[in-house]
Amino acid sequence: MAPTIRMTVAVLGATGQQGGSVARELLAYPERYLVRVLTRNATSSKALDLTNLGAEIRTADLNDHQSLRPALDGAQIIFAMTDFWQSMSADVEESQGKSLMDILSSLPQLEHLIWASLPDGRKISDGKYSNIFHWQSKAAVTGYIRDSKPGLWEKTTEILFPNYFENCLTAPSRYLPVKINDVYIRSFPLSPGTTLPNVAIEDTGKLVDYVIRHGSTYQTKTITFFSEELSEAEKAATIGRIYDIPVKYKKITSEEFQATLTDMDPTTALDFTEQLMIFEDCGMIYNRPEFIQANKLPGLKLKSWEEFVTSNDVLSYIIDG
Ligand SMILES: NC(=O)c1ccc[n+]([C@@H]2O[C@H](COP(=O)([O-])OP(=O)(O)OC[C@H]3O[C@@H](n4cnc5c(N)ncnc54)[C@H](OP(=O)(O)O)[C@@H]3O)[C@@H](O)[C@H]2O)c1
């Protein structure tokens, strides 16, 4: 039998949630993949954990063009992401993404780029939602690949990320009901029937492995990554049912919601609010026909909200209001 040729996969953001899932999933197949992770800090505990699992570590910074090329050189597959929240500046994120694509388009060994993105909210809403800056910056990078780097676009699979289930663990006051006088109240600016795309971000690696294994099938395609479309009212009701607690859904106005975002500057708070309100006005935009839905890919099993709640003891994260 011919020996399997290992592919070198470079993973950006591997010390974070999306890239961390990708790195760990691919590291489980050492006969197929040599996993190279990029980080700004090769001695962080998260980077060292990946080294212990067999990853090759390279120091690189998206803000430092010079550091990226040697770190990416020789990779056949690249999982690329940018982190808006690091700078909270869409201009910075767009510029990081475009510089990265300039480099990727000149890498002769690159066979497949998997690009973590978000939709073009302005276009989808016919201009009504023009302040979702952390979507626009990523969508602008996708447009740059498609329009200015056709050779790179031929090798690209774009993945549109959804609301992470894990947000309720990292920011429970924003993503879970709050306990007030023995009732669990979920306050949110969307109607009880308005659904959002949701996924366990820990499943990112499963999708990326699936896409890689399918070779060119999903190149030049956009995949929307979600296991379930759920309203926040349904998610809260599931928590109520699983833990047998009284849960109430309370629709608040977008202005009331925005006023709770006190950790963000006004521009980012508007951005954050509009990324929700677009679903109220335009429906479940991740279901649009131009997208391939990850939850319809044959053989790909993604975690449900119910499975996530029970496996993470979500009740223990709920705070008193
Ligand atoms: N939370 C959600 O529901 C959601 C939904 C859709 C999309 N998103 C998008 O997801 C992105 C964040 O991804 P995540 O959740 O995986 O983030 P995360 O867990 O906070 O991790 C951020 C990662 O980005 C890397 N990074 C940040 N700045 C970098 C730089 N200048 N150079 C190189 N690496 C850099 C960090 O690496 P080092 O620190 O090791 O260098 C880290 O691995 C954001 O752009 C956000 O808009 C989030």
* Residue 1 predicted with pLDDT over 60: no
Model pLDDT for residues 289-303, shown as the tens digit of each residue:
999 999 999 999 999
Environment class of 43 (CB within 10 Å of its CB; exposed 0-12, middle 13-18, buried 19+): exposed
Give yes or no for residue 36 CB within 6 A of ligand 1.
Answer: no
Kindly give the distance from the C-alpha atom of residue 46 to the centroid of ligand 1, in angstroms, as a whole number: 14
Q: Can you give the pLDDT at residue 67?
A: 97
pLDDT over 70, % of the chain: 99
User: 180, 314, 168: which is closest to 250 by C-alpha?
Assistant: 180
Return the pLDDT at 2. Answer: 57
pLDDT for position 162: 98
pLDDT digits (tens, 9 = 90+) for 233-291: 999 999 999 999 999 999 999 999 999 999 999 999 999 999 999 999 999 999 999 99
Domain spans, the chain: 7-165+197-228+286-296, 167-194+230-283+304-317
With a 6 Å cutoff on the Cβ, whether 134 touches ligand 1 is yes
Average pLDDT, the chain: 97
- At residue 3 the predicted structure's pLDDT band, cuts being 50, 70 and 90, is low
Q: Is the pTM of this model over 0.95?
A: yes
Residue % of the chain over a pLDDT of 90: 98
What pLDDT sits at residue 125? 98
Give the ligand 1 atom nearest the CA of 82.
Answer: 45
232 Cβ contact list (under 8 Å, min separation 6): 186, 188, 190, 196, 249
Q: Look at domain 167-194+230-283+304-317 and name its CATH class.
A: alpha beta
Calculate mean pLDDT across residues 39-59.
98
> Is 167-194+230-283+304-317 in the same CATH topology as 7-165+197-228+286-296?
no
pLDDT value of residue 4 = 67
pLDDT tens-digit readout, 91-140: 999 999 999 999 999 999 999 999 999 999 999 999 999 999 999 999 99
| Index of the ligand 1 atom closest to the CA of residue 134 | 47
CB of 271 shorter than 6 A to ligand 1? no
**What average pLDDT does the segment 66-75 reach?**
97
Strand order in the sheet with 163-164: 163-164, 195-199, 228-231
Sign (positive or negative) of CA dihedral 305, 225, 98, 33: positive
Confidence band, pLDDT 50/70/90 cuts, at residue 177: very high
- 7-165+197-228+286-296, what's its fold? Rossmann fold (3.40.50)
* pLDDT value of position 5: 84
Q: How far apart are CA 21 and CA 41, in angstroms?
A: 18
83 Cα nearest atom in ligand 1: 45
The 8-class DSSP code of residue 59 comes to E
H or E stretch including 35?
strand 33-39
61 C-beta closer than 6 A to ligand 1: yes
| Cβ pair 71, 59 in contact under 8 A | yes
Instruction: Tell me the pLDDT band of 159, cut-offs 50, 70 and 90.
Output: very high
- 174 within 8 A of 259, measured Cβ to Cβ: no
Going by alpha carbons, the residue nearest to atom 27 of ligand 1 is 83
CA–CA dist 217, 201 (Å, integer): 23
Instruction: Kindly give the distance from the C-alpha atom of residue 200 to the centroid of ligand 1, in angstroms, as a whole number.
Output: 16
d(CA 277, CA 279): 5
